[in-house]
Structures are given as C-alpha cells and as structure tokens.
Amino acid sequence: MTHKTLAQRLDDSVRWTGTAATVAKPRHRRPQRWWSTLAIVVATAGLVVAIGWPALRWPGYAVLMAAFSIANFMPIFGPLKPWGGTEPIDERERAIRANAFLIALSVVSFVAVVGMWGAVATSAFGNWDGATLRLAIVDLAFYIAALYSALPTCVASWVERRLPDEDD
Amino acid sequence: MHNRIALFRAEYGLTRKALAEAVGVNPQTVGYLERGDYKPSLELAMKIAEQFGVAVEHLFSFTPFEPVADTLRRAGDR
C-alpha cells in the first residue's frame, strides 16, 4: 500500500474531476465568421436603439448585452489564440493575430473617440440629464467591449480560409 | 514566392502533421505554405530545408520551379 502526500491526493482529486484532462486537450479553434459578425451587427443595433430611442432604452440595452455575451465567446472558440496563453502558436498564427488586432484596435479606438464626443455633443443638443448621459456612456462601454472581443475574431475569420483538417 | 514543399513531402512520405511537428508549426501552416498563401520567415524556411536535407533555394524560389516531368525528360536525354 502506497502512502500519498496531501499534495498528491489533491492532484488525484483534481484529475478525478476530469478538468485537468479537459484543459490539457488541444482546443478546437474554428473561424467564427457568422457568429462574430452577428455579435457586432446586433451590438450596433442595440446601441443605436438604446441611445436613439429613449422609450426603447431597456430593450436596446438587453439586445446589446445579448450581443456582448456572444462576443465574449469569440476569443474562446475563434481562430485567434490569446496573448500570453499556454496554447502553442507559430509564426503564421502570430502574424494573423497581430494583423487582426491592429485592425480591430484601430476601429475600437475610433469608435471610442467618436462615441465619447458623440455622447457629449448629443447630450448638449438633446438636453439630456446626467442620468441619461451616464446610461449612454455605460451602453457605449459595453459596445466597445463587445467590439474588442468580437472584431479581432471577425477579421481573422473572414481573412483566413481554413484548410481541411484531414491530412493530404 | 514558389515552393516545392509538397513535392519533397510526398517524396519523403511525410504527412503535413509530421512535417509540422518536425519544424514546430501548426499543420495548417504547412498547408498554407504549400499553397503559397503564406511566406515563411527565413528561420522556418531553413528549418524545412534542413528537414529535407537540401539547400533553402531548392525549396523556395521567386520564379516558378521547372515541372518535374521536364527535369526527368532532360535527365533522360543526357
């Protein structure tokens, strides 16, 4: 009979859950063309409705949050491996990721600047109160976060056509 | 950039996965290289050439490679 240390028993308990084996498996990444595009389109629609039609603020916000939720899955299942992750990445994948993030971050920066100035200008001309402006900024923040999650995947998925997995 | 990776790989009986593992890239990258859709770094090009035991210019070229049939025909004429 072997005597296991506490650390070994803890290791065994983790292995017993199956989590360790699941994490060790290579992740099946695929282009997410339609899901990422859907997330961006729906988020844009939600933002426009939430800010443009005050009576529909909460339905618009709900749509925006649904799109934000979809967008959050894009880095997990999309073709781009995360920065600083443990998944092995080669030079082509690194180049695709750099290109996709360069485009996406340019768009995100542009949207952030235009959105902030747009919100300030609209609040001034539309006589918004402080609460309305705060809600608009919250909507904008979620929209930018959705773009940040979905846009790199969207760019990479549309630019790169995945080759069949089967060898030869 | 033109290359003869697929030709060498077939000659050596290597799968894309085996070549990819040997040079430390994703099998998809080997596929993109063979199709000419990705231009490798000098390091990767040299690793692949080393794998086949040839000089890098035997694998990669700025001009299209002569078809194998022409090479064989010429060799037969000698």
Chain B residues near residue A93 by CB distance under 8 angstroms: 26, 29
Three-class DSSP labels, A92-130:
HHHHHHHHHHHHHHHHHHHHHHHHHHHHHHHHHHCCCCH
**Mean pLDDT computed over every residue of chain A:** 90
Angle of CA points B5, A82, A21, to nearest 5°: 90
CB atoms A167 and B16 under 8 Å: yes
pTM of structure:
0.80
CB atoms A91 and B16 under 8 Å: no
Is the domain B2-77 a CATH 1.10.260.40 member? yes
pLDDT digits 0-9 by tens, A14-54: 989 987 777 777 678 889 999 999 999 999 999 999 998 88
Nearest CB to B32: which of A163, A167, A168? A163
pLDDT given for residue A18 in this prediction: 85
Q: Is A90 near chain B, with CB under 8 Å?
A: yes
The Cα A47–Cα A115 span in angstroms is 11
Query: Domain map of chain B by residue range?
Result: 2-77
Given a contact cutoff of 8 angstroms between Cβ atoms, the answer to whether A148 and A82 are in contact is no
The Cα B64–Cα B72 span in angstroms is 17
Is the pLDDT at B14 greater than 90, yes or no? yes
pLDDT digits 0-9 by tens, B22-33: 999 999 999 999
pLDDT given for residue A168 in this prediction: 45
Give the length of chain A: 168
**Least confident span in A73-87, A143-157, B42-56:** A73-87
Q: Give A23→chain B minimum CA distance, Å.
A: 19
pLDDT given for residue A1 in this prediction: 57
Q: Is A160 left (phi over 0), alpha (psi -120 to 50) or beta?
A: beta
pLDDT digits 0-9 by tens, A97-155: 999 999 999 999 999 999 999 999 988 888 888 899 999 999 999 999 999 999 999 99
CB atoms A92 and B24 under 8 Å: no
**CB proximity list for B66: less than 8 A, separation 6 or greater:** none
Q: Is A53 left (phi over 0), alpha (psi -120 to 50) or beta?
A: beta
Q: Give A166→chain B minimum CA distance, Å.
A: 9
DSSP A38-85: HHHHHHHHHHHHHHH-GGGHHHHHHHHHHHHHHHHHHHHHSSPPPTT-
Question: Could you tell me the pLDDT band of residue A166, with boundaries at 50, 70 and 90?
Answer: low
Q: Give B6→chain A minimum CA distance, Å.
A: 10
